């Protein structure tokens, strides 16, 4: 009920459309129910005249028929206009909900995404909102409202014409309620399973698209296909169960009930013959039969719609779960970068507070200095960077930039002056220029060109027919990894950060490209506090300070030379790498 109320509350964003849409629905239902009453008058008039052997006045026939047509037309126009208004409002409300969900998702802490597949999150924003649009907002406003109004109007009309028949037919309502209850009970688990399999299909497809090269490299096509087919079969099974349920509780059965009711009502009317005179006029019988036959369709539509509404409610629940995820608390106070000096002051941190992955991390990095972070996999290098970006806050101790503790400042203002070049740079769809400027209007084409040239990308631009306006598609798959990295370096240079993070930027590339990148790196580092997360120790030989991490603890620190002289972990790693490169 909470989800239902919350979904309904979105109507307030389109008050006029809903108000006029509902009023027009009411008018449409009212007029469509009134039309047979004119038919009744016409039939009664004709039968009376014929019975009395009097002439049937042509102008009265024309008048009644004209009125009948007018009312029918009015009903159709009102129905059409109400559909347009309500559908318009429903689509706008759905758009708003999707925008809200997307915006909210962007404000969620990084930790929210740690244990959730991307496909499942996007399914909430795209598929579940679509489900709400079709099954809730469109159904609710365009089907539930109009059908409920029609049923109420028919009952009111029947009660006015024949209270006995009207009251008897009200007795049908509990029967429909039970029917609905059975339908929902049976349909709910099927629908839930169906939605889950759709969501699984989504994440399996996303997974294979993202990892297509690995899948092919390790010949995993067959097993991935089997897994996919299994889920797809599950999807088909749920659909078939749903069809069987719909068929068994559906239209044919309703026709049977309708005929039964009709039979009962006509028999009752037959009993109203007294002394050879019928208790009901021919027109009244026509109108009763007309109403009864029209009563069933809206009721059955309601029975079926309730189950789709229920599906929509579970979609709504998932969307609201996302919307209710607490956003990261942030302040408006912006961090002021002066130099870009970084201090880690006795930092303890764990993604799960019970298990620390960084223990008593303590170091200072000043403007223009280069800090090398080395250590085996899982030793905590990336976690230090995560804290520096304030993706997470430490449990103890503090991370400071220019003597300001990050936890007290606005995240965006911290990240504004930081640049990162990742091992696998991420390029967006657009052009090379838009990937360098990141659509920042302050970064002009000239600045883009200059940044690319500075990092050594002149040749790259010259060989492309459209230069910096060359389109980038599919994350830059048509560019080499070295070229992608040059673009990432130019992006960083153009944004002029105070603090720079280079995440193993020189791995996986040949010697020539490494030289090119090494040059780019030197250009970008100039005058900035730089952190290099390195596995290849050749990258950090000139670093001002190297921190050697092991199990989240800084085990050694110093320059390349002093650490070699120390002759411990770093020296061992260095010698090992030297041996590997020599062999």
Ligand X SMILES: Nc1ncnc2c1ncn2[C@@H]1O[C@H](COP(=O)(O)OP(=O)(O)OP(=O)(O)O)[C@@H](O)[C@H]1O
d(CA 534, CA 6): 50
- Are 394 and 401 a contacting pair, CB within 8 Å? no
| Angstrom distances, CA of residue 376 to CA of 379, 454, 501, 567 | 6, 33, 18, 17
In the complex with ligand X, which residue's Cβ is closer, 66 or 378? 378
Mark the segment that binds ligand X (CB under 6 A) among 67-75, 224-232, 381-389, 481-489: 381-389
Residue 539 found at the interface with ligand X (CB under 6 A):
no
Among 24, 169, 356, 357, binds ligand X (CB under 6 A): 357
DSSP string, 166-203: HHHHHTHHHHHHHHHHHHHHHHHHHHHHHHHHHHHHHH
Among 28, 82, 142, 379, binds ligand X (CB under 6 A): 379
Q: In angstroms, rounded to a whole number, what is the distance separating the alpha carbons of residues 322 and 325?
A: 5
> Smaller CB distance to ligand X: residue 93 or 357?
357
Binding residue for ligand X, selected from 53, 377, 477, 511, defined by CB under 6 A:
377
Which pairing describes strands 342-349 and 396-401: parallel, antiparallel, or unpaired?
antiparallel
Work out whether 383 is an interface residue with ligand X (CB under 6 A).
Answer: yes
Distance CA 130, CA 422 (A): 35
Which residue among 79, 298, 380, 397 contacts ligand X (CB under 6 A)? Answer: 380
Residue 360 Cβ vs ligand X, minimum distance, rounded to whole Å: 15
Position among 79, 283, 298, 375 found at the interface with ligand X (CB under 6 A): 375
**Residue number with CB closer to ligand X (114 or 354):** 114
Count of residues in contact with ligand X, rule CB under 6 A:
11
Stretch near ligand X under the rule CB under 6 A, chosen from 68-76, 233-241, 338-346, 380-388:
380-388
- Whichever of 12 and 355 has its CB closer to ligand X, that residue is 355
As beta bridge partners, residue 404 has: 401
Neighbouring residues of 165: CB distance < 8 A, sequence distance ≥ 6: 158, 265, 268, 288
Answer for the pair 89, 14: CB distance below 8 angstroms, yes or no: yes
For residue 174, count other CB atoms closer than 10 A to its CB.
9
Instruction: Judge whether 29 and 149 are in contact, CB under 8 Å.
Output: yes
Vertex 12 angle, CA 10 and 14, to 5°: 95
Q: Is 393 helix (H, G, I), strand (E, B) or coil?
A: coil
User: Toward ligand X, which CB reaches closer, 329 or 355?
Assistant: 355
Pick from 133, 381, 411, 557 the residue near ligand X by CB under 6 A. Answer: 381
Scanning 13-21, 28-36, 88-96, 379-387 for contacts with ligand X by CB under 6 A, the matching segment is 379-387
Q: Of 384 and 521, which has the nearer Cβ to ligand X?
A: 384
Instruction: Verify binding: residue 271, ligand X, rule CB under 6 A.
Output: no
For ligand X, the closer CB: 356 or 427: 356
C-alpha radius of gyration, the chain, whole number:
36
Among 66, 189, 378, 567, binds ligand X (CB under 6 A): 378
Nearer to ligand X, 89 or 499 (CB): 499
- Contact code string over 336-355 relative to ligand X, x by CB under 6 A: ---------------x----
Q: Which helix (H) or strand (E) holds 297?
A: helix 282-324
Query: Do the beta carbons of residue 150 and residue 31 sit within 8 Å?
Result: no
Q: Which is nearer to ligand X, 149 or 549 (CB)?
A: 549
Q: Does 382 bind ligand X (CB under 6 A)?
A: yes
Residue 195: closest CA among 305, 112, 316 = 316
Alpha helices by DSSP H, 211-281: 212-217, 221-248, 251-271
Instruction: Output the smallest distance, CB 422 to ligand X, in A.
Output: 11
- Between 163 and 353, CB nearer to ligand X: 353
Q: Closer CB to ligand X, residue 296 or residue 570?
A: 570
Pick 304 or 381: Cβ nearer ligand X: 381
Which residue, 26 or 385, has its beta carbon nearer to ligand X?
385
Q: Which residue(s) pair with 349 in the sheet?
A: 358
Maximum Cα interatomic distance, the chain, rounded to a whole number of Å: 127
DSSP-derived pairing of the beta strands 553-558 and 545-550: antiparallel
- Name the minimum Å distance from CB 351 to ligand X: 3
Phi-psi region of 378 (alpha: psi -120 to 50; beta: other; left: phi over 0): left
By the 8 A CB rule, do 406 and 341 touch? no
DSSP summary character for residue 274: B
Considering only 52-60, 337-345, 377-385, 424-432, which stretch makes contact with ligand X by CB under 6 A? 377-385
Q: How many CA atoms lie within 13 A of 495 on its CB side?
A: 23
The DSSP letter of residue 277 is B
Instruction: State the nearest-atom distance from the C-beta of 554 to ligand X, in Å.
Output: 12
Residue closer to ligand X (CB basis): 151 or 358: 358
Site string (98-137) toward ligand X, x via CB under 6 A: ----------------x-----------------------
Strands 499-503 and 529-533: parallel
Yes or no: say if 365 and 341 are a contact pair by the CB < 8 Å rule.
yes
Minimum CB separation of residue 110 from ligand X in Å reads: 7
The piece of 139-147, 152-160, 370-378, 493-501 that touches ligand X (CB under 6 A) is 370-378
Beta-carbon contacts of residue 470 (< 8 Å; ≥ 6 apart): 431, 432, 464
Task: Give the Cα separation of 550 and 568 in Å (integer).
Answer: 13
Of 340-348, 375-383, 430-438, 475-483: span binding ligand X (CB under 6 A): 375-383
CB of residue 376 to ligand X, shortest distance in Å: 7
Q: Which stretch binds ligand X (CB under 6 A): 166-174, 372-380, 429-437, 558-566?
A: 372-380
When asked if residue 3 is in the footprint of ligand X (CB under 6 A), the reply is no
Residue nearer to ligand X on the CB measure, 33 or 387: 387
For the bound state, the minimum distance from the C-beta of residue 138 to ligand X, rounded and expressed in Å, comes to 40
Q: Segment 287-316, which members bind ligand X (CB under 6 A)?
A: none
Distance CA 38, CA 149 (A): 20
| Residues binding ligand X (CB under 6 A) | 114, 351, 357, 375, 377-383
């Amino acid at each position: 009920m909470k989800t239902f109320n919350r979904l309904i509350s979105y109507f307030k964003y389109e008050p006029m459309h809903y108000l006029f849409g509902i009023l027009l629905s009411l008018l449409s239902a009212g007029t469509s129910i009134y039309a047979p009453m004119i038919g009744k008058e016409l039939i009664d008039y004709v039968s009376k005249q014929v019975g009395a052997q009097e002439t049937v006045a042509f102008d009265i026939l024309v008048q009644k028929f004209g009125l009948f047509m007018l009312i029918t037309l009015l009903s159709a126009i009102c129905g059409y206009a109400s559909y347009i208004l309500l559908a318009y409002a429903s689509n706008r409300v759905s758009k708003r909900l999707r925008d809200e969900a997307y915006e909210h998702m962007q404000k969620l802490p990084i930790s929210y995404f740690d244990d959730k597949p991307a496909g499942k999150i996007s399914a909430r924003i795209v598929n579940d909102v679509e489900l709400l649009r079709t099954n809730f907002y469109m159904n609710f406003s365009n089907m539930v409202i109009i059908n409920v109004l029609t049923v109420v109007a028919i009952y009111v009309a029947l009660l006015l014409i024949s209270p006995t028949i009207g009251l008897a037919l009200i007795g049908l309502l509990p029967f429909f309620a039970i029917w609905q209850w059975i339908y929902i009970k049976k349909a709910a688990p099927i629908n839930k399973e169906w939605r889950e399999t759709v969501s699984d299909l989504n994440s399996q497809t996303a997974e294979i698209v993202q990892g297509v090269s690995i899948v092919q490299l390790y010949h995993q096509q067959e097993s991935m296909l089997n897994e996919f087919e299994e889920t797809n079969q599950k999807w088909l099974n749920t659909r078939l169960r749903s069809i069987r349920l719909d068929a068994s509780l559906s239209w044919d059965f309703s026709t049977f009930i309708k005929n039964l009711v009709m039979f009962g009502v006509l028999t009752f009317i037959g009993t109203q013959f007294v002394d050879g005179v019928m208790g009901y006029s021919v027109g009244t019988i026509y109108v009763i039969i007309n109403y009864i036959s029209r009563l069933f369709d809206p009721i059955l539509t309601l029975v079926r719609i309730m189950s789709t509404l229920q599906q929509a409610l579970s979609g709504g629940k998932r969307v609201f779960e996302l919307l209710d995820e607490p956003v990261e608390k942030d302040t408006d106070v912006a961090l002021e970068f002066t130099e870009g000096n970084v201090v880690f002051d006795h930092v303890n941190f764990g993604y799960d507070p019970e298990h620390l992955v960084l223990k008593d991390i303590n170091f200072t990095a000043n403007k223009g200095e280069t800090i090398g972070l080395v250590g085996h996999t899982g030793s905590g290098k990336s976690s230090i960077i995560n804290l520096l970006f304030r993706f997470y806050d430490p449990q103890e101790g503090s991370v400071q930039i220019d003597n300001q503790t990050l936890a007290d400042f606005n995240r965006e203002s911290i990240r504004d002056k930081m640049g990162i070049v990742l091992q696998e740079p991420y390029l967006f769809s657009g052009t090379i220029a838009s990937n360098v400027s990141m659509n920042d209007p302050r970064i002009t084409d000239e600045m883009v060109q200059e940044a690319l040239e500075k990092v050594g990308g002149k040749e790259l631009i010259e060989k492309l027919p459209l230069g910096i306006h060359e389109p980038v598609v599919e994350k830059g798959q048509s560019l080499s990894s070295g070229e992608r990295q040059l673009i990432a370096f130019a992006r960083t240079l153009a944004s002029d950060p105070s603090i720079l993070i280079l995440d193993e930027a020189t791995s996986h590339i040949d010697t020539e490209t490494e030289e090119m990148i090494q040059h780019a790196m030197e250009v970008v580092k100039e005058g900035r506090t730089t952190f290099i997360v390195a596995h290849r120790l050749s990258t950090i030989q000139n670093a001002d300070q190297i921190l050697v991490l092991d199990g989240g603890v800084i085990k050694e620190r110093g320059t390349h030379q002093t650490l070699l002289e120390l002759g411990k972990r770093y020296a061992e790693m260095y010698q090992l790498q030297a041996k590997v490169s020599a062999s």
